[in-house]
Amino acid sequence: MTNEPIREFLIHHVEAHPTDIAAVAAKQFGITRQGVNRHLRNLVSEGILSAEGATRHRQYKLVTQEVRTTIALSPGLQEHQLWDEVAAPMLKTLRENVRTICMHGFTEMVNNALEHSEGSELIMTIATTAAGVKMRVIDNGVGIFAKVRRAFDLEDDRHAILELSKGKLTTDSSRHSGEGIFFTSRMFDRFSIASGSLLFCHTSDGDDWLLDHADGISEIRHQGTGIEMSISTASPNTTRKIFDAFVSKSEPWGFHKTRIPVSLARYGDDQLISRSQAKRLLTRVDRFKDVVLDFKGFSMIGQGFADEVFRVFSVNHPDVHIHPIRANAEVKRMIAHVQDVT
């Protein structure tokens, strides 16, 4: 057995097992703990891991390298220049696919801050370990959710998050396609936006969640917009793979498919019952050919909501195909019920 699989295992599992990583790795590879400890000592000597405590109670953790840069936003400032100066030197040893994703995410989010935030200052942080990269882009502008809400005359900032999650949303259509946040959020293992009183997060396993300052999460409140993107150094993702996942089979050259977390259409613990909630969910959906609705976390949906989504909308937009996923038996039963209406 080569050493590389053991080293990779230690690097990518030490955060979950800081005190028993040797025992976990020994069991995984069928070798002695003494053999694993040799690899751990090498990783410490190379500056990849740090170790604290006596031998029997030693704790290992990944060594983090971090650079934080604050700049004044000014006319003529360009995102590729900031990539070259701030991020690229820290990320030059990454695998090409991961480095390309980091470049895409960094330049897209910095461009958003430069052209849309209306702020005066930008803070960029790049933190790396042997296991992953975390990038933060923070501005002191008007806040992305508030700006989208005002631009599209939406009910509140939570509605703005729902619209952003669909894609094809921009407040400046003459210069932007509205695809930056949508695709960037799906390239990274974890992507989050904090603005005002809200924190929205998307993870690579398809989960989306929203936290509200009003729910007692006091540390959320954020002036301007703060974006955080994290990715494993071992990620198999590529930008091409993510773009290809959202093309329609009938038109494989464009962005014609979206995936919407239905949970973002409800506020708090509300169930989705009414036609008005359905119409909120379906806003701008007719811009796509294939729409995947993710019903994870729902125990039921109302007849009016289901009828508006799966019968009325489908009748009025026959070229848009809606695909429910992660729906439980009760949700599936209601969808089948309204589709059976003649």
Angle, vertex CA 177, rays to CA 176 and CA 182, nearest 5: 115
Give the rounded distance of the alpha carbon of 12 from its chain centre.
Answer: 20
| Domain match, 17 and 131 both | no
More confident residue, 133 or 172: 133
Last residue of a domain, which of 208, 240, 272?
A: 240
What's the rounded Cα separation, in Å, for the pair 302 and 171? 33
3-state DSSP assignment of residue 4: helix
| Domain match, 109 and 216 both | yes
Average pLDDT for 311-329: 95
* Cβ-based neighbour number of residue 330 at 10 Å: 12
What's the rounded Cα separation, in Å, for the pair 298 and 167? 23
| Domain match, 228 and 304 both | no
More confident residue, 213 or 157: 157
| Domain match, 85 and 155 both | yes
For residue 131, the domain's CATH number is 3.30.565.10
Last residue of a domain, which of 191, 216, 240?
A: 240
Average pLDDT for 62-87: 94
For residue 48, the domain's CATH number is 1.10.10.10
* Cβ-based neighbour number of residue 192 at 10 Å: 19
Contact 190, 201 (CB under 8 A): yes
Is the pLDDT confidence value at 236 over 80? yes
Q: In what order do the strands lie in the sheet with 190-196?
A: 65-72, 121-128, 132-139, 222-232, 190-196, 198-203, 208-212
| Domain match, 92 and 223 both | yes
* Nearest in space to 5 (alpha carbons), one of 22, 24, 25: 25
* Nearest in space to 239 (alpha carbons), one of 99, 137, 113, 111: 99
| Domain match, 56 and 188 both | no
What does the pLDDT read at residue 1? Answer: 46
| Domain match, 217 and 95 both | yes
Give the rounded distance of the alpha carbon of 329 from its chain centre.
Answer: 28
What does the pLDDT read at residue 217? Answer: 44
| Domain match, 205 and 72 both | yes
What does the pLDDT read at residue 222? Answer: 63
| Domain match, 307 and 229 both | no
Contact 130, 60 (CB under 8 A): no
Last residue of a domain, which of 19, 35, 62?
A: 62
| Domain match, 70 and 83 both | yes
Average pLDDT for 312-328: 95
Instruction: Give phi and psi for 82, each to the nearest 5.
Output: -70, -35
| Domain match, 256 and 108 both | no
Output DSSP code: residue 215: G
Summarised one tens digit per residue, pLDDT across range 182-228 is: 999 999 999 999 998 899 999 998 888 888 865 544 444 567 999 99
Q: Length of the chain, please?
A: 342
Contact 97, 62 (CB under 8 A): no
What's the rounded Cα separation, in Å, for the pair 239 and 15? 27
What's the rounded Cα separation, in Å, for the pair 37 and 137? 38
Task: Name the average pLDDT for the chain.
Answer: 90
pTM equals 0.88
What's the rounded Cα separation, in Å, for the pair 246 and 182? 10
Could you tell me the CA-to-CA distances from 126 to 123, 137, 193, 210, 231 in Å, in that order?
Answer: 10, 9, 16, 24, 12
Range of the domain at 319: 248-339
